[in-house]
A and B are shown apart, each in its own frame.
Chain A
């Protein structure tokens, strides 16, 4: 399924090299051309049998993580977050530091040493550090440099009834689905874009979309899933196990209604589970792609992930499968009815 391999590689935003190399290896026999642009986006081209339209698939390779910002005299590493991370979950987490993947743990002042007032507030990022087991600054500096990336350490684990725990499901699930989709050949020209730096502001996709200049684009993502205790049902964004989640609107895009309705109906017709994402929060590459050049017909479909942006993201294999099957069904169907693409472009 590629997900184990993909999620166990590290690719914090701006440092997607490992992930890119792995994807390149997986797809090189499947596509006609692979190019890597100046920011590091991997763009795989697969010629169509009848090439009138350009279809873009997009998934981002990067994940949230950290960067080394300094050292303490006792050898500890100071760090900053890269991408959106809830700092309250960090103390006690395992991480890998730098290119050599040096193991470390995120530490903070122990609870029994905290003043009464300190115990009642969340530990601030500034007060945390990464302990890599050294006890002198000089020793640490031999192993770690300023600016080194730090990733969560979290082996892929299957548990419960068809659930998976891993880090970086957002958006290695999308990467895995794009690889699967490339195993087929379609009528139109397909550009599978594995983008960089989504988590720091949808940066890679903006230039990838400009380069590809597609007629239509589908973004494949990992999205939030808040079907957990303490949240009102009316505020669930998606429900784990209810299938792939289709975005109606989020902070960065209001996807093409025609494309969204088409995907929803096709999924229902094909008996593939699909749900609408029910909140308007969050954002993804679709925002930049839709507004590229003169505007692009865009939609975004996702695998629901609980505890997203944490080392213990959880997804359901069923949801992953329906998302993959829907993406491939959409591509095949659009290939058969290319007039649909024209109609969607004309609103």
Chain B
């Protein structure tokens, strides 16, 4: 699992720019599933045909990042966020543009109070001497991802983009481990989730599934002085009950509970009081789709040191396969 996570988190895929990660995933699954297509927005759709229930399984490929908006005379780059980027978490980080250019993120010296730190008062330094030199590497509109190589320590992995490459990994493994089944299963690697659940909406419209299960990360309440939340890393995948975008369908929730009990894996319940996720868009698309989600507990979401348990991911694969087979 760790090697797969490493390959996936290494790939470039800032929202709206999922070309790199899409290639990586196609390479992972092309020998395991015949029907693979890419739609207008860039969603990667892999279909296991069948005559039974039509089930959509979704994980988003995109990750948060930044976009160059202005290059000044000295070659410093101003930027905007793509998805939920915290100014505090960004300070002192390295970012990597699609073409490999690396930059350091810092803030204007004259800032007196850290509380006033805003992205508009920050910049990316790519070490260019002036605007001309900078423009050779970076153009307005170019995007960069945060750098944070995946590392493993016992059961935990620390990396950027575990949100939601861990979900992608779960789908990839499920494709490989899926036993014979009548169900028609759509494995969808969606785009632009971090910009507002956009890819999932159009994918669900095209596929019109009978049911949908998304796999994404969720926040935890197991760190020092954390906001109250029941979910803990390493205590099994979480069955989503609600977040800001969806109240999960009771039948899907029940199916996931029964599946977890059948195979005897630990699981938890997730009630997320902030944030939304792909099933939020799926369940109100195409006339309505009963939807639910399996969540990977993840600390420090939207930072370069997102942390999650490999065993939780392995158990999520087992749970997903049991539920859709």
Contact = CB atoms under 8 A, between A and B. Distances in A.
Interface of A: 233-236, 248-249, 254, 257, 260, 276, 278-280, 290-291, 293-297, 345-347
B192 A345 contact: no
Contacts of A279: 69, 80
Interface of B: 15-17, 38-43, 67, 69-70, 72, 78, 80-82, 120, 140-141, 192, 195, 198-199, 201-203, 205-206
Nearest to A216: B40
Contact of B16 (A235, A249, A346): A249
Contact of B82 (A233, A249, A293): A249
B202 A291 contact: yes
Q: Which of B80, B141, B201, B206 has the most CB of A within 10 A?
A: B141
22 contacts: A235-B70, A248-B140, A248-B141, A249-B16, A254-B195, A257-B16, A257-B17, A278-B70, A278-B140, A279-B69, A280-B80, A290-B41, A291-B201, A291-B202, A293-B205, A293-B206, A294-B40, A294-B206, A295-B41, A345-B40, A347-B38, A347-B42
Contact of B40 (A234, A236, A296): A296
A279 B80 CA distance: 7
Contacts of B195: 254
A320 B80 CA distance: 27
A254 B192 CA distance: 9
Contacts of A294: 39-40, 202-203, 205-206
B72 to A, nearest CB: 6
Q: Which of B69, B120, B205 has the most CB of A within 10 A?
A: B69
Contacts of A254: 15-16, 192, 195, 198
B62 to A, nearest CB: 10
Cβ-closest 3 pairs across A and B: A295-B202, A254-B16, A295-B40
Nearest to B207: A294
A296 B205 CA distance: 12
A279 B119 CA distance: 12
Contacts of B201: 291
Chain A interface secondary structure, helix, strand, loop or mixed? loop
A317 to B, nearest CB: 26
A293 B287 CA distance: 11
B67 A248 contact: yes
Contacts of B140: 248, 276, 278
Contacts of B78: 234-235
B40 A276 contact: no
Given A249-B67, A296-B40, A345-B40, 18 more contacts: A233-B70, A234-B69, A234-B72, A234-B78, A235-B120, A249-B16, A249-B80, A254-B198, A257-B17, A276-B140, A276-B141, A278-B69, A278-B70, A291-B41, A291-B201, A294-B203, A346-B38, A347-B42
Given A248-B140, A276-B141, A295 B120 contact: no
Contacts of B15: 254
A88 to B, nearest CB: 21
Q: Which of A233, A260, A291 has the most CB of B within 10 A?
A: A291
A236 B42 CA distance: 31
Contacts of A345: 40
B270 to A, nearest CB: 26
A254 B191 CA distance: 11
Nearest to A249: B67
Contacts of B202: 291, 293-295
A235 B121 CA distance: 10
A234 B70 contact: yes
A345 B70 CA distance: 29
A347 B42 CA distance: 6
A198 B194 CA distance: 24
A34 B205 CA distance: 28
Contacts of B67: 248-249, 280
B37 to A, nearest CB: 10
Given A249-B16, A254-B16, A280 B38 contact: no
Nearest to A293: B205
Contacts of A347: 38-40, 42
Contacts of B199: 295
Given A254-B195, A278-B140, A291-B198, A297 B70 contact: no
Nearest to A297: B40
A234 to B, nearest CB: 4
Nearest to A344: B40
Contacts of B120: 235
Nearest to B192: A254
Contacts of B43: 295
B198 to A, nearest CB: 6
A296 to B, nearest CB: 7
Contacts of A290: 41, 198
B299 to A, nearest CB: 28
A7 to B, nearest CB: 30
A346 B120 CA distance: 35
A135 B80 CA distance: 52
Nearest to B16: A254
Nearest to B120: A235
